[in-house]
Amino acid sequence: MRWNREKGKDRAPGRSQRPYQTVAGRTWIFRGAHRGRVTRKNIIWHELIGLKAKIIRASHPELVGIEGYVLDETRNTLTIVGDRVWTVPKDVVEVEFETAAGEKIRVDGKSLVGRPEMRLKKRWRK
Amino acid sequence: MGRKWILRGKEQREKKRIARERVETLFTMAERVFPYSRELANRYVEIALAVQQKAKIRLPKKWKRRYCKKCHSFLVPGVNARVRLRSKPYPHVVIKCLECGHIMRYPYLREKKARRAKTQDQGGVEA
Ligand SMILES: [Zn+2]
């Protein structure tokens, strides 16, 4: 799945933080950008990028209360942008997403672990 | 056993629908984010293509020509892509990615034919 390996643009750890900084504080860019019909049932397979998110519970007290739009996603982290950019590990938090329709969905971050394109392959309705 | 297969078909359709929505969302986001961070726009294209390949769906026509087939960067005509019409061997659109110099050609004979038929129809009505 890696196309430009030689250019080193891998999403491996240690990737530069630079692409995110120019978007910090400009959350209006993402308003209404999400085109999916996300529901409680299908959020595990759906796109998280572009959704509004709020951290409700976390093992690390500093993370609680972070609010903003999901900007990027890796296997184990979510990057959330509000007035600044946070990178939050998925497996220790509980997130409340707000869909375009205004529905609020609470998800345990553990069920969201996996690369964005791999989440689509997760088991369907166990 | 039949029931199982029906369920599996349903699952596949649902997944493809979700995948289509995801691709649409990601490309829309790439377009929005492009003026502020090209890297991020390219990242969204990368995820969208990965989702498209995994789910085995077609890329929507709207977005098909909006990324470079070689370096997978998001293209905006006039900013990092050059779009020209050429009619010499056969009518086609030439899109050049200014990030890597890759050239993509798309025929537009069908559109041209449709247009010709349309104008002829109009001429017929007038005459
Ligand atoms: Zn290119």
Predicted confidence (pLDDT) per residue in B83-127, tens digit: 999 988 889 999 999 999 999 999 988 777 788 887 776 654 443
Rounded to two decimals, the ipTM of the complex is 0.80
* Nearest residue to A69 (alpha-carbon basis) of A91, A47, A94, A93: A47
Q: Under DSSP, is residue A114 helix (H, G, I), strand (E, B) or coil?
A: coil
Nearest residue in A to B27, CA atom: A33
Give the ranges where B34-92 is alpha helix by DSSP (H). Answer: 38-55, 61-64
CB proximity A120 to B under 8 Å: yes
- Average pLDDT value over all residues in chain B: 87
Yes or no, beta carbons of A47 and B54 under 8 Å apart: no
Q: B101 among the known binding-site residues?
A: no
* Strands ordered across the beta sheet of B92-97: B81-86, B92-97, B103-107
Q: What is the least distance, in Å, from the CA of B108 to any CA of chain A?
A: 29
CA–CA separation, B45 and B51 (whole Å):
10
Given its phi and psi angles, is residue A37 left (phi above 0), alpha (psi -120 to 50 degrees) or beta?
beta
Q: B45 among the known binding-site residues?
A: no
Yes or no, beta carbons of A33 and B44 under 8 Å apart: no
Q: Are strands A104-108 and A67-73 parallel, antiparallel or unpaired?
A: unpaired
Percent of the residues in chain B that have a pLDDT greater than 70, as a whole number: 94
The reported pLDDT for the residue numbered B126 is: 41
Span B48-66, average pLDDT:
91
Q: Are strands B92-97 and A52-58 parallel, antiparallel or unpaired?
A: unpaired
- Where is A79: in which H helix or E strand? strand A77-81
Predicted confidence (pLDDT) per residue in B26-42, tens digit: 999 999 999 988 899 99
pLDDT at A12 over 90: no
> From ligand 1's centre to the CA of B49, what distance in Å?
15
Best residue in B10, B22, B63 to probe A by mutation, most A CBs within 10 Å? B22
For residues B72 and B52, the answer to whether their CB atoms sit within 8 Å is: no
* Nearest residue to A99 (alpha-carbon basis) of A37, A56, A8: A37
Domain B2-110 fold: 1.20.5
CB proximity A122 to B under 8 Å: no
Predicted confidence (pLDDT) per residue in A61-104, tens digit: 888 988 999 999 999 999 999 888 899 999 999 999 998 788 89
